[in-house]
Amino acid sequence: MTQRPWLAHYADDVAPDLAEAPFAHLPAMIRAAAATNADMTAFTQCMPNGMNGSLTYAQIDALSDDFAAYLREVVGLSQGDRVAVQMPNSLSYPIVAFGVFKAGCVLVNTNPLYTATEMVHQFTDSGAKALIVSDMFADRLPEVLPKTEIGTVVTVRIAEFFPRVIAGVVRMVQKYWNRSLPAITVDHTPFQQALDAGRERRSDAALEAYLDGIDASTVAALQYTGGTTGVSKGAMLTHGNLVSNTLQMIQMCGAYMRPGMETVLTALPLYHIFAFTVNLLAFYHLGSRNILVPSPRPPSNLKRAFENYKITWVTGVNTLFNALLNERWFIDSPPRHLRASAAGGMALHESVAARWSEVTGTPIVEGYGLTETSPVLSFNPFGPTAKAGTIGIPVPSTELRCIDESGAEVAPGTPGEIAARGPQVMAGYWQRPDDTAASIVDGFFRTGDIAEMDSDGFFTIVDRKKDMVLVSGFNVYPNEIEERIAELPGVLEVGVVGIPDDKSGEAVRAYIVATHTPPTEAQVIAHCRETLAAYKVPKSVRFVDELPKSPIGKILRRELRAEAVTSATASIETQGRELS
Protein backbone atom coordinates (compact mmCIF):
# COMPACT_ATOMS: atom_id res chain seq x y z
CA MET A 1 0.00 0.00 0.00
CA THR A 2 1.63 3.24 -1.09
CA GLN A 3 -1.09 5.50 0.27
CA ARG A 4 -2.27 5.88 3.87
CA PRO A 5 -5.64 7.64 3.63
CA TRP A 6 -6.02 7.62 7.41
CA LEU A 7 -3.24 10.20 7.85
CA ALA A 8 -5.65 12.96 6.84
CA HIS A 9 -7.68 12.17 9.96
CA TYR A 10 -4.92 12.35 12.55
CA ALA A 11 -5.35 15.21 15.00
CA ASP A 12 -3.13 18.24 14.38
CA ASP A 13 -0.90 17.30 17.33
CA VAL A 14 -0.43 13.64 16.26
CA ALA A 15 2.63 12.85 14.15
CA PRO A 16 2.09 10.06 11.60
CA ASP A 17 5.25 8.17 12.53
CA LEU A 18 7.15 7.45 15.70
CA ALA A 19 10.50 9.07 16.20
CA GLU A 20 13.32 6.73 17.17
CA ALA A 21 12.51 5.43 20.66
CA PRO A 22 14.60 7.16 23.33
CA PHE A 23 14.75 3.94 25.36
CA ALA A 24 16.83 0.90 24.51
CA HIS A 25 14.58 -1.35 26.56
CA LEU A 26 11.71 -1.37 29.08
CA PRO A 27 13.86 -0.87 32.21
CA ALA A 28 15.20 2.37 30.72
CA MET A 29 11.65 3.61 30.12
CA ILE A 30 10.55 2.54 33.60
CA ARG A 31 13.49 4.23 35.34
CA ALA A 32 12.96 7.44 33.39
CA ALA A 33 9.34 7.68 34.59
CA ALA A 34 10.39 7.04 38.19
CA ALA A 35 13.09 9.72 38.03
CA THR A 36 10.65 12.31 36.64
CA ASN A 37 7.78 11.52 39.03
CA ALA A 38 9.58 10.16 42.08
CA ASP A 39 7.35 11.62 44.80
CA MET A 40 4.05 11.19 42.98
CA THR A 41 1.66 8.36 43.75
CA ALA A 42 2.04 5.71 41.07
CA PHE A 43 -0.44 3.05 42.15
CA THR A 44 -3.36 2.86 44.57
CA GLN A 45 -5.04 -0.48 45.16
CA CYS A 46 -8.70 -0.07 46.08
CA MET A 47 -10.69 -2.93 47.57
CA PRO A 48 -14.50 -3.17 47.14
CA ASN A 49 -15.04 -1.76 50.65
CA GLY A 50 -12.69 1.16 50.01
CA MET A 51 -9.70 -0.15 51.97
CA ASN A 52 -6.57 0.83 50.11
CA GLY A 53 -2.83 1.19 49.93
CA SER A 54 -0.53 3.26 47.72
CA LEU A 55 3.06 3.40 46.49
CA THR A 56 4.99 6.26 44.89
CA TYR A 57 7.09 6.08 41.75
CA ALA A 58 10.27 6.10 43.84
CA GLN A 59 9.01 3.19 45.97
CA ILE A 60 8.02 1.15 42.91
CA ASP A 61 11.45 1.76 41.38
CA ALA A 62 13.38 0.75 44.51
CA LEU A 63 11.25 -2.29 45.27
CA SER A 64 11.47 -3.58 41.69
CA ASP A 65 15.27 -3.17 41.91
CA ASP A 66 15.14 -5.32 45.05
CA PHE A 67 13.13 -7.96 43.27
CA ALA A 68 15.46 -7.97 40.26
CA ALA A 69 18.39 -8.59 42.59
CA TYR A 70 16.46 -11.38 44.32
CA LEU A 71 15.83 -13.18 41.02
CA ARG A 72 19.45 -12.96 39.90
CA GLU A 73 21.48 -13.08 43.13
CA VAL A 74 19.32 -15.26 45.38
CA VAL A 75 17.35 -17.49 43.02
CA GLY A 76 20.25 -17.64 40.59
CA LEU A 77 18.34 -16.96 37.38
CA SER A 78 20.16 -15.93 34.22
CA GLN A 79 19.37 -13.43 31.52
CA GLY A 80 16.50 -14.75 29.37
CA ASP A 81 15.10 -17.14 31.99
CA ARG A 82 11.32 -17.15 32.14
CA VAL A 83 9.40 -16.05 35.24
CA ALA A 84 5.70 -16.86 35.52
CA VAL A 85 3.50 -14.30 37.29
CA GLN A 86 0.04 -15.30 38.44
CA MET A 87 -1.80 -12.66 40.43
CA PRO A 88 -4.73 -10.25 40.22
CA ASN A 89 -4.35 -6.48 40.10
CA SER A 90 -2.43 -5.39 43.18
CA LEU A 91 0.42 -3.16 44.30
CA SER A 92 2.75 -6.14 44.03
CA TYR A 93 2.13 -6.67 40.33
CA PRO A 94 4.12 -3.71 38.93
CA ILE A 95 6.96 -4.44 41.35
CA VAL A 96 7.18 -8.00 40.10
CA ALA A 97 6.76 -7.21 36.39
CA PHE A 98 9.27 -4.36 36.45
CA GLY A 99 11.64 -6.46 38.53
CA VAL A 100 11.52 -9.28 35.98
CA PHE A 101 12.40 -6.84 33.20
CA LYS A 102 15.21 -5.25 35.25
CA ALA A 103 16.65 -8.71 35.92
CA GLY A 104 16.92 -9.29 32.18
CA CYS A 105 14.43 -12.14 32.46
CA VAL A 106 11.26 -12.86 30.48
CA LEU A 107 7.81 -12.24 31.96
CA VAL A 108 5.18 -14.97 31.51
CA ASN A 109 1.79 -13.53 32.47
CA THR A 110 -0.57 -16.24 33.72
CA ASN A 111 -4.29 -16.04 34.44
CA PRO A 112 -4.83 -16.67 38.19
CA LEU A 113 -8.04 -18.57 37.38
CA TYR A 114 -6.32 -21.17 35.22
CA THR A 115 -6.91 -24.80 36.02
CA ALA A 116 -4.00 -27.07 36.92
CA THR A 117 -3.98 -28.43 33.37
CA GLU A 118 -3.75 -24.95 31.86
CA MET A 119 -1.01 -23.95 34.29
CA VAL A 120 1.06 -27.03 33.47
CA HIS A 121 0.79 -26.33 29.74
CA GLN A 122 1.87 -22.71 30.05
CA PHE A 123 4.67 -23.36 32.54
CA THR A 124 6.14 -26.29 30.64
CA ASP A 125 5.78 -24.68 27.23
CA SER A 126 7.53 -21.51 28.44
CA GLY A 127 10.10 -23.39 30.52
CA ALA A 128 9.42 -21.10 33.48
CA LYS A 129 11.93 -21.53 36.31
CA ALA A 130 10.21 -19.36 38.92
CA LEU A 131 6.59 -18.60 39.81
CA ILE A 132 5.25 -15.53 41.59
CA VAL A 133 1.73 -16.39 42.69
CA SER A 134 -1.06 -14.94 44.81
CA ASP A 135 -1.48 -17.05 47.94
CA MET A 136 -5.21 -17.25 47.18
CA PHE A 137 -4.43 -19.65 44.32
CA ALA A 138 -1.74 -21.81 45.92
CA ASP A 139 -4.00 -24.86 46.30
CA ARG A 140 -3.18 -26.00 42.75
CA LEU A 141 0.59 -25.96 43.22
CA PRO A 142 1.08 -29.50 44.61
CA GLU A 143 -0.47 -30.91 41.45
CA VAL A 144 1.27 -28.49 39.07
CA LEU A 145 4.85 -28.04 40.23
CA PRO A 146 6.12 -31.65 39.86
CA LYS A 147 5.21 -31.50 36.15
CA THR A 148 7.22 -28.32 35.49
CA GLU A 149 10.76 -26.93 35.74
CA ILE A 150 9.74 -24.37 38.36
CA GLY A 151 12.21 -24.43 41.24
CA THR A 152 11.23 -21.26 43.10
CA VAL A 153 7.80 -20.15 44.29
CA VAL A 154 7.17 -16.70 45.78
CA THR A 155 3.77 -16.12 47.36
CA VAL A 156 2.09 -12.71 47.47
CA ARG A 157 -0.70 -11.41 49.72
CA ILE A 158 -3.47 -9.33 48.20
CA ALA A 159 -2.93 -6.52 50.73
CA GLU A 160 0.86 -6.27 50.51
CA PHE A 161 1.98 -2.66 51.18
CA PHE A 162 -1.33 -1.66 52.78
CA PRO A 163 -1.05 0.07 56.16
CA ARG A 164 -0.45 -2.60 58.81
CA VAL A 165 -3.86 -2.41 60.50
CA ILE A 166 -5.79 -2.36 57.21
CA ALA A 167 -3.73 -5.25 55.85
CA GLY A 168 -4.52 -7.21 58.99
CA VAL A 169 -8.25 -6.62 58.58
CA VAL A 170 -8.15 -7.74 54.92
CA ARG A 171 -6.23 -10.85 55.96
CA MET A 172 -8.76 -11.70 58.67
CA VAL A 173 -11.66 -11.30 56.25
CA GLN A 174 -9.96 -13.58 53.71
CA LYS A 175 -9.10 -16.19 56.29
CA TYR A 176 -12.21 -16.39 58.43
CA TRP A 177 -15.05 -14.74 56.49
CA ASN A 178 -14.38 -15.54 52.82
CA ARG A 179 -12.25 -18.60 53.59
CA SER A 180 -10.26 -17.78 50.47
CA LEU A 181 -6.79 -18.65 51.76
CA PRO A 182 -5.83 -22.30 51.19
CA ALA A 183 -3.02 -23.91 53.09
CA ILE A 184 0.30 -23.63 51.24
CA THR A 185 1.90 -27.07 51.26
CA VAL A 186 4.84 -26.48 48.90
CA ASP A 187 8.18 -24.81 49.56
CA HIS A 188 7.77 -21.09 49.04
CA THR A 189 9.14 -17.68 49.95
CA PRO A 190 6.81 -14.88 51.09
CA PHE A 191 7.14 -11.80 48.92
CA GLN A 192 8.44 -9.50 51.65
CA GLN A 193 11.20 -11.98 52.50
CA ALA A 194 12.18 -12.12 48.83
CA LEU A 195 12.40 -8.32 48.68
CA ASP A 196 14.48 -8.19 51.87
CA ALA A 197 16.86 -10.80 50.52
CA GLY A 198 17.23 -8.94 47.23
CA ARG A 199 17.84 -5.63 48.98
CA GLU A 200 20.76 -7.12 50.90
CA ARG A 201 22.41 -8.31 47.68
CA ARG A 202 21.53 -5.39 45.42
CA SER A 203 24.15 -3.16 43.83
CA ASP A 204 24.01 -0.56 41.09
CA ALA A 205 26.76 -2.31 39.17
CA ALA A 206 24.90 -5.62 39.23
CA LEU A 207 21.62 -4.03 38.16
CA GLU A 208 23.41 -2.50 35.17
CA ALA A 209 25.11 -5.80 34.32
CA TYR A 210 21.79 -7.68 34.26
CA LEU A 211 20.90 -5.73 31.11
CA ASP A 212 24.15 -6.18 29.18
CA GLY A 213 23.31 -7.03 25.58
CA ILE A 214 19.57 -6.40 25.95
CA ASP A 215 18.11 -4.20 23.24
CA ALA A 216 14.87 -3.62 21.33
CA SER A 217 15.04 -7.06 19.69
CA THR A 218 15.31 -8.97 23.00
CA VAL A 219 12.21 -10.87 24.11
CA ALA A 220 10.67 -9.20 27.17
CA ALA A 221 7.46 -11.22 27.63
CA LEU A 222 5.75 -14.38 26.51
CA GLN A 223 2.08 -13.47 26.31
CA TYR A 224 0.01 -16.60 25.78
CA THR A 225 -2.86 -16.65 23.32
CA GLY A 226 -4.89 -19.04 21.26
CA GLY A 227 -3.57 -17.13 18.27
CA THR A 228 -5.30 -17.39 14.92
CA THR A 229 -5.14 -21.19 15.01
CA GLY A 230 -4.36 -24.07 17.32
CA VAL A 231 -3.52 -24.42 21.01
CA SER A 232 -2.40 -21.69 23.37
CA LYS A 233 1.05 -20.45 22.43
CA GLY A 234 3.39 -17.74 23.61
CA ALA A 235 3.63 -14.56 21.56
CA MET A 236 7.22 -13.31 21.84
CA LEU A 237 6.88 -9.61 22.62
CA THR A 238 10.20 -7.80 22.54
CA HIS A 239 11.32 -4.75 24.49
CA GLY A 240 11.00 -2.81 21.23
CA ASN A 241 7.45 -4.07 20.66
CA LEU A 242 6.25 -2.93 24.08
CA VAL A 243 8.15 0.35 24.16
CA SER A 244 6.89 1.20 20.66
CA ASN A 245 3.26 0.37 21.42
CA THR A 246 3.41 2.41 24.62
CA LEU A 247 4.62 5.44 22.69
CA GLN A 248 2.19 4.80 19.80
CA MET A 249 -0.78 4.84 22.16
CA ILE A 250 0.33 8.04 23.87
CA GLN A 251 1.10 9.76 20.57
CA MET A 252 -2.26 8.75 19.10
CA CYS A 253 -4.20 10.22 22.03
CA GLY A 254 -2.38 13.55 21.85
CA ALA A 255 -3.67 16.11 24.33
CA TYR A 256 -6.11 13.63 25.88
CA MET A 257 -3.22 11.93 27.74
CA ARG A 258 -1.61 14.68 29.83
CA PRO A 259 1.75 13.97 31.48
CA GLY A 260 1.47 13.90 35.25
CA MET A 261 -2.24 14.77 35.29
CA GLU A 262 -4.25 11.60 34.64
CA THR A 263 -5.84 9.14 37.05
CA VAL A 264 -6.75 5.90 35.28
CA LEU A 265 -9.07 3.21 36.57
CA THR A 266 -7.62 -0.24 35.97
CA ALA A 267 -10.43 -2.76 36.30
CA LEU A 268 -9.17 -5.07 33.55
CA PRO A 269 -6.51 -7.54 34.72
CA LEU A 270 -2.93 -6.40 34.22
CA TYR A 271 -1.93 -9.87 33.07
CA HIS A 272 -4.05 -9.24 29.96
CA ILE A 273 -2.13 -7.46 27.20
CA PHE A 274 -4.65 -4.60 26.83
CA ALA A 275 -4.33 -3.42 30.43
CA PHE A 276 -0.65 -4.39 30.56
CA THR A 277 0.43 -2.05 27.77
CA VAL A 278 -2.17 0.71 28.00
CA ASN A 279 -2.80 0.95 31.75
CA LEU A 280 0.48 -0.28 33.23
CA LEU A 281 3.13 0.87 30.74
CA ALA A 282 1.58 3.88 28.99
CA PHE A 283 0.04 5.58 32.00
CA TYR A 284 3.14 4.84 34.12
CA HIS A 285 5.32 6.43 31.45
CA LEU A 286 3.02 9.48 31.56
CA GLY A 287 3.39 9.89 35.31
CA SER A 288 -0.26 9.05 35.99
CA ARG A 289 -1.92 7.64 39.08
CA ASN A 290 -3.24 4.14 38.50
CA ILE A 291 -6.21 2.95 40.58
CA LEU A 292 -6.00 -0.85 40.70
CA VAL A 293 -9.13 -2.91 41.33
CA PRO A 294 -8.41 -6.61 41.95
CA SER A 295 -11.73 -7.74 40.45
CA PRO A 296 -14.45 -5.74 38.62
CA ARG A 297 -17.11 -8.38 39.26
CA PRO A 298 -19.69 -7.59 40.41
CA PRO A 299 -19.55 -4.03 39.02
CA SER A 300 -20.35 -2.70 42.50
CA ASN A 301 -16.69 -3.53 43.28
CA LEU A 302 -15.85 -0.33 41.37
CA LYS A 303 -18.17 1.95 43.33
CA ARG A 304 -15.67 3.05 45.98
CA ALA A 305 -12.94 3.61 43.40
CA PHE A 306 -15.17 6.01 41.49
CA GLU A 307 -16.30 7.72 44.71
CA ASN A 308 -12.89 8.10 46.33
CA TYR A 309 -10.64 9.08 43.42
CA LYS A 310 -10.77 11.67 40.65
CA ILE A 311 -10.86 9.21 37.77
CA THR A 312 -10.03 10.89 34.46
CA TRP A 313 -9.65 7.78 32.27
CA VAL A 314 -11.38 4.41 32.13
CA THR A 315 -10.33 1.50 29.93
CA GLY A 316 -12.54 -1.52 29.50
CA VAL A 317 -14.47 -3.86 27.28
CA ASN A 318 -18.06 -3.54 26.08
CA THR A 319 -19.42 -5.77 28.84
CA LEU A 320 -17.77 -3.65 31.56
CA PHE A 321 -19.17 -0.37 30.22
CA ASN A 322 -22.58 -1.97 29.73
CA ALA A 323 -22.54 -3.39 33.26
CA LEU A 324 -21.78 0.02 34.76
CA LEU A 325 -24.60 1.57 32.75
CA ASN A 326 -26.96 -0.87 34.44
CA GLU A 327 -25.87 0.16 37.96
CA ARG A 328 -28.13 2.73 39.59
CA TRP A 329 -25.28 4.21 41.66
CA PHE A 330 -23.27 4.88 38.51
CA ILE A 331 -26.14 6.43 36.56
CA ASP A 332 -27.16 8.64 39.49
CA SER A 333 -23.62 9.85 40.13
CA PRO A 334 -21.38 9.46 37.05
CA PRO A 335 -17.67 10.27 37.52
CA ARG A 336 -17.33 14.07 37.56
CA HIS A 337 -13.66 14.22 36.54
CA LEU A 338 -13.78 11.73 33.68
CA ARG A 339 -12.22 13.01 30.45
CA ALA A 340 -12.13 9.96 28.17
CA SER A 341 -12.64 6.20 27.96
CA ALA A 342 -11.09 3.59 25.70
CA ALA A 343 -12.70 0.30 24.70
CA GLY A 344 -11.01 -2.77 23.26
CA GLY A 345 -10.85 -6.54 23.57
CA MET A 346 -14.21 -7.02 21.85
CA ALA A 347 -16.63 -5.01 19.71
CA LEU A 348 -18.01 -1.90 21.38
CA HIS A 349 -21.74 -1.79 20.67
CA GLU A 350 -22.86 1.54 19.28
CA SER A 351 -25.80 1.57 21.68
CA VAL A 352 -23.44 1.16 24.65
CA ALA A 353 -21.07 3.83 23.35
CA ALA A 354 -23.91 6.30 22.82
CA ARG A 355 -25.34 5.74 26.29
CA TRP A 356 -21.91 5.95 27.95
CA SER A 357 -21.29 9.32 26.32
CA GLU A 358 -24.78 10.46 27.30
CA VAL A 359 -24.43 9.42 30.96
CA THR A 360 -20.85 10.60 31.50
CA GLY A 361 -20.78 13.51 29.07
CA THR A 362 -17.39 12.33 27.79
CA PRO A 363 -16.13 10.54 24.67
CA ILE A 364 -15.55 6.82 24.47
CA VAL A 365 -13.52 5.55 21.55
CA GLU A 366 -12.80 2.05 20.34
CA GLY A 367 -9.41 0.62 19.55
CA TYR A 368 -8.29 -2.68 18.12
CA GLY A 369 -5.40 -5.03 18.57
CA LEU A 370 -4.26 -8.51 19.46
CA THR A 371 -1.90 -10.17 21.88
CA GLU A 372 0.51 -10.68 18.99
CA THR A 373 0.61 -6.92 18.32
CA SER A 374 1.37 -5.72 21.85
CA PRO A 375 -1.70 -5.06 21.39
CA VAL A 376 -2.80 -1.73 19.84
CA LEU A 377 -3.01 -1.54 16.03
CA SER A 378 -5.71 1.07 15.55
CA PHE A 379 -7.58 3.66 17.57
CA ASN A 380 -10.37 6.09 16.89
CA PRO A 381 -9.06 9.65 16.97
CA PHE A 382 -10.56 11.92 19.58
CA GLY A 383 -12.55 14.79 18.16
CA PRO A 384 -14.84 15.38 15.19
CA THR A 385 -13.08 12.98 12.82
CA ALA A 386 -13.92 9.91 14.95
CA LYS A 387 -16.35 7.46 13.40
CA ALA A 388 -18.69 5.59 15.72
CA GLY A 389 -18.90 1.87 15.08
CA THR A 390 -15.37 1.65 13.69
CA ILE A 391 -12.06 0.63 15.26
CA GLY A 392 -10.60 3.86 13.98
CA ILE A 393 -7.40 4.28 12.04
CA PRO A 394 -3.92 2.77 12.36
CA VAL A 395 -1.75 4.20 15.13
CA PRO A 396 1.49 5.94 14.07
CA SER A 397 4.05 3.84 12.14
CA THR A 398 1.45 1.13 11.52
CA GLU A 399 0.11 -0.18 8.23
CA LEU A 400 -3.15 -2.12 7.99
CA ARG A 401 -4.65 -3.68 4.90
CA CYS A 402 -7.57 -5.99 4.16
CA ILE A 403 -6.59 -9.01 2.08
CA ASP A 404 -8.33 -11.90 0.36
CA GLU A 405 -7.50 -15.62 0.64
CA SER A 406 -4.59 -15.24 -1.79
CA GLY A 407 -3.08 -12.37 0.19
CA ALA A 408 -4.03 -9.69 -2.34
CA GLU A 409 -5.31 -6.39 -0.99
CA VAL A 410 -9.04 -5.86 -1.54
CA ALA A 411 -10.73 -2.63 -2.55
CA PRO A 412 -12.12 -0.19 0.06
CA GLY A 413 -15.53 -1.30 1.29
CA THR A 414 -14.78 -4.98 0.60
CA PRO A 415 -14.44 -7.39 3.53
CA GLY A 416 -11.04 -8.95 3.94
CA GLU A 417 -8.70 -10.31 6.59
CA ILE A 418 -6.72 -7.62 8.41
CA ALA A 419 -2.97 -7.87 7.87
CA ALA A 420 -0.75 -5.63 9.99
CA ARG A 421 2.80 -4.35 9.88
CA GLY A 422 4.50 -2.14 12.45
CA PRO A 423 7.06 -2.02 15.27
CA GLN A 424 4.54 -3.52 17.72
CA VAL A 425 4.12 -6.82 15.83
CA MET A 426 5.57 -9.76 17.75
CA ALA A 427 8.83 -11.51 16.88
CA GLY A 428 6.89 -14.76 16.50
CA TYR A 429 5.45 -17.63 18.52
CA TRP A 430 7.70 -19.18 21.16
CA GLN A 431 9.37 -22.33 19.81
CA ARG A 432 6.76 -22.60 17.02
CA PRO A 433 8.46 -21.65 13.75
CA ASP A 434 5.73 -23.21 11.59
CA ASP A 435 2.98 -21.22 13.31
CA THR A 436 5.10 -18.09 13.03
CA ALA A 437 5.66 -18.61 9.30
CA ALA A 438 1.93 -19.18 8.76
CA SER A 439 0.90 -16.02 10.62
CA ILE A 440 3.60 -13.55 9.49
CA VAL A 441 3.75 -13.48 5.69
CA ASP A 442 5.84 -10.94 3.77
CA GLY A 443 6.26 -8.93 6.95
CA PHE A 444 2.50 -8.67 7.64
CA PHE A 445 0.81 -10.40 10.56
CA ARG A 446 -2.45 -12.04 9.50
CA THR A 447 -4.90 -11.40 12.30
CA GLY A 448 -7.79 -13.73 11.49
CA ASP A 449 -10.19 -10.80 11.82
CA ILE A 450 -12.42 -9.75 8.94
CA ALA A 451 -12.85 -6.01 8.38
CA GLU A 452 -13.63 -3.35 5.81
CA MET A 453 -11.65 -0.17 5.21
CA ASP A 454 -13.55 2.85 3.95
CA SER A 455 -12.17 5.52 1.63
CA ASP A 456 -10.99 7.60 4.60
CA GLY A 457 -8.90 4.74 5.99
CA PHE A 458 -11.22 3.89 8.89
CA PHE A 459 -11.60 0.18 9.61
CA THR A 460 -14.75 -1.62 10.72
CA ILE A 461 -14.53 -5.12 12.14
CA VAL A 462 -16.95 -7.49 10.49
CA ASP A 463 -16.07 -10.42 12.72
CA ARG A 464 -13.58 -13.10 13.59
CA LYS A 465 -12.87 -15.35 10.65
CA LYS A 466 -13.50 -18.41 12.80
CA ASP A 467 -16.79 -17.00 14.21
CA MET A 468 -18.39 -16.47 10.81
CA VAL A 469 -21.61 -18.43 10.30
CA LEU A 470 -22.33 -19.93 6.87
CA VAL A 471 -26.09 -19.93 6.22
CA SER A 472 -27.06 -21.47 2.86
CA GLY A 473 -23.79 -20.24 1.41
CA PHE A 474 -24.13 -16.71 2.79
CA ASN A 475 -21.55 -15.27 5.20
CA VAL A 476 -23.17 -14.13 8.45
CA TYR A 477 -21.18 -12.18 11.03
CA PRO A 478 -22.33 -12.43 14.66
CA ASN A 479 -21.19 -8.90 15.55
CA GLU A 480 -23.79 -7.37 13.25
CA ILE A 481 -26.65 -9.40 14.73
CA GLU A 482 -25.49 -8.78 18.31
CA GLU A 483 -25.47 -5.05 17.63
CA ARG A 484 -29.08 -5.12 16.43
CA ILE A 485 -30.34 -7.27 19.32
CA ALA A 486 -28.53 -5.09 21.87
CA GLU A 487 -30.72 -2.17 20.74
CA LEU A 488 -33.81 -3.85 22.21
CA PRO A 489 -35.02 -2.72 25.65
CA GLY A 490 -34.53 -5.46 28.20
CA VAL A 491 -31.40 -6.95 26.63
CA LEU A 492 -28.44 -6.79 29.00
CA GLU A 493 -25.98 -8.96 27.05
CA VAL A 494 -26.13 -11.01 23.88
CA GLY A 495 -23.98 -13.59 22.14
CA VAL A 496 -24.65 -14.99 18.68
CA VAL A 497 -23.27 -18.24 17.22
CA GLY A 498 -23.93 -20.65 14.40
CA ILE A 499 -25.41 -24.07 15.11
CA PRO A 500 -25.69 -27.08 12.78
CA ASP A 501 -28.81 -27.11 10.62
CA ASP A 502 -29.99 -29.83 8.22
CA LYS A 503 -31.44 -27.42 5.68
CA SER A 504 -29.06 -24.45 5.65
CA GLY A 505 -25.83 -26.02 6.92
CA GLU A 506 -25.76 -23.61 9.83
CA ALA A 507 -28.40 -21.48 11.51
CA VAL A 508 -28.11 -18.42 13.72
CA ARG A 509 -28.83 -18.73 17.44
CA ALA A 510 -28.87 -15.84 19.91
CA TYR A 511 -28.16 -16.24 23.64
CA ILE A 512 -29.53 -13.37 25.70
CA VAL A 513 -29.11 -12.22 29.29
CA ALA A 514 -32.14 -10.06 29.99
CA THR A 515 -33.09 -7.44 32.56
CA HIS A 516 -36.21 -7.60 34.73
CA THR A 517 -38.43 -6.83 31.74
CA PRO A 518 -37.11 -9.12 29.00
CA PRO A 519 -38.29 -9.14 25.40
CA THR A 520 -39.91 -12.31 24.12
CA GLU A 521 -38.29 -14.58 21.57
CA ALA A 522 -40.88 -13.42 19.05
CA GLN A 523 -40.01 -9.77 19.68
CA VAL A 524 -36.30 -10.44 19.21
CA ILE A 525 -36.89 -12.23 15.92
CA ALA A 526 -39.35 -9.60 14.71
CA HIS A 527 -36.85 -6.81 15.45
CA CYS A 528 -34.14 -8.66 13.54
CA ARG A 529 -36.45 -9.15 10.56
CA GLU A 530 -36.97 -5.40 10.40
CA THR A 531 -33.26 -4.60 10.40
CA LEU A 532 -31.47 -7.61 8.86
CA ALA A 533 -31.62 -9.73 5.74
CA ALA A 534 -33.72 -12.86 6.17
CA TYR A 535 -30.76 -15.28 6.26
CA LYS A 536 -29.22 -13.32 9.18
CA VAL A 537 -32.30 -13.53 11.39
CA PRO A 538 -31.84 -15.88 14.37
CA LYS A 539 -33.66 -19.16 13.95
CA SER A 540 -33.72 -19.61 17.71
CA VAL A 541 -33.26 -17.52 20.85
CA ARG A 542 -32.17 -18.79 24.25
CA PHE A 543 -32.50 -16.76 27.44
CA VAL A 544 -29.76 -17.55 29.98
CA ASP A 545 -28.69 -16.29 33.38
CA GLU A 546 -25.17 -15.47 32.21
CA LEU A 547 -22.86 -15.75 29.22
CA PRO A 548 -19.45 -17.40 29.38
CA LYS A 549 -16.71 -14.75 29.47
CA SER A 550 -12.96 -14.46 29.44
CA PRO A 551 -11.15 -12.80 32.38
CA ILE A 552 -11.54 -9.37 30.73
CA GLY A 553 -15.27 -9.90 30.10
CA LYS A 554 -15.13 -10.90 26.45
CA ILE A 555 -18.04 -13.18 25.53
CA LEU A 556 -16.72 -16.63 24.61
CA ARG A 557 -18.62 -17.72 21.53
CA ARG A 558 -16.77 -21.02 21.35
CA GLU A 559 -18.36 -22.06 24.64
CA LEU A 560 -21.78 -21.03 23.39
CA ARG A 561 -21.23 -23.15 20.27
CA ALA A 562 -20.15 -26.08 22.42
CA GLU A 563 -23.30 -25.71 24.52
CA ALA A 564 -25.45 -25.63 21.40
CA VAL A 565 -23.85 -28.81 20.03
CA THR A 566 -24.19 -30.55 23.39
CA SER A 567 -27.86 -29.57 23.64
CA ALA A 568 -28.55 -30.76 20.11
CA THR A 569 -26.83 -34.09 20.77
CA ALA A 570 -28.78 -34.60 23.98
CA SER A 571 -32.03 -33.81 22.16
CA ILE A 572 -31.31 -36.36 19.43
CA GLU A 573 -30.43 -39.01 22.01
CA THR A 574 -33.66 -38.29 23.90
CA GLN A 575 -35.71 -38.57 20.72
CA GLY A 576 -33.97 -41.84 19.92
CA ARG A 577 -34.86 -43.30 23.29
CA GLU A 578 -38.48 -42.19 22.91
CA LEU A 579 -38.75 -43.89 19.52
CA SER A 580 -37.16 -47.14 20.66
Q: What is the pLDDT along the chain (580 residues), one digit of tens a residue?
A: 447 999 999 988 899 999 999 999 999 999 999 999 999 999 999 999 999 999 999 999 999 999 999 999 999 999 999 999 999 999 999 999 999 999 999 999 998 988 888 899 999 999 999 999 999 999 999 999 999 999 999 999 999 999 999 999 988 888 878 777 899 999 999 999 999 999 999 999 999 999 999 999 999 999 998 644 456 899 999 999 999 999 999 999 999 999 999 999 999 999 999 999 999 999 999 999 999 999 998 999 999 999 999 999 999 988 899 999 999 999 999 999 999 999 988 778 888 999 999 999 999 999 999 999 999 999 999 888 889 889 999 999 999 999 998 999 999 999 999 999 999 999 999 999 999 999 999 999 999 899 999 999 999 988 777 787 888 767 788 888 998 999 999 999 999 999 988 777 889 999 999 988 899 999 999 999 998 888 899 999 999 999 998 878 888 888 998 887 776 555 434 444 444 4
Residue that finishes a domain, picked among 186, 214, 242 = 214
Task: Please indicate, yes or no, if residue 154 is contained in any of the structural domains.
Answer: yes
Enter the DSSP assignment of 346: S
Structural domain ending residue among the three candidates 188, 214, 240: 214
> Which pairs from 193-199 meet CB under 8 Å and 24+ separation?
194/67, 194/70, 194/74, 194/154, 195/63, 195/66, 195/67, 195/70, 195/95, 196/66, 197/70, 197/74, 198/65, 198/66, 198/67, 198/68, 198/69, 198/70, 198/71, 198/73, 198/74, 199/66, 199/69
In a domain, 25, yes or no: no
CATH number of the domain encompassing residue 175: 3.40.50.980
Please report whether residue 290 resides in a domain.
Answer: no
Helix (H, G, I), strand (E, B) or coil at 570: helix
Residue 375 lies in a domain: no
Q: What CATH number is attached to the domain comprising 476?
A: 3.30.300.30
**DSSP label at residue 271:** T
Determine if the pTM surpasses 0.95.
Answer: no
What's the CA gap between 546 and 194, in Å, rounded? 41
Cα 329 from chain centre: 26
Examine residue 369 and state whether it is found in any structural domain, yes or no. Answer: no
Q: Is 21 left (phi over 0), alpha (psi -120 to 50) or beta?
A: beta
Judge whether 549 lies within some domain.
yes
Question: Cβ(410)–Cβ(397) under 8 Å?
Answer: no
Report CA 170 to chain centroid distance, whole Å.
27
- Identify the DSSP state of 139: G
In this structure, are residues 125 and 233 in contact, taking their beta carbons and an 8 Å threshold?
Answer: yes
**Beta-bridge mates of residue 428:** 236
**Domain count across the chain:** 2
Domain holding 88, by residue range, is: 51-214
User: Which residues have CB under 8 Å from 558's CB, separation 6+?
Assistant: none
183, 214, 245 — which closes off a domain? Answer: 214
Handedness of CA 45, 379, 372, 225 (dihedral sign): positive
Please check whether residue 501 lies inside any domain of the structure.
yes
Alpha-carbon gap, residue 100 to 84, rounded angstroms: 10
Does residue 397 lie in a domain region? no
| Residue 211 one-letter amino acid | L
Q: How many CB atoms lie within 10 A of CB 30?
A: 23
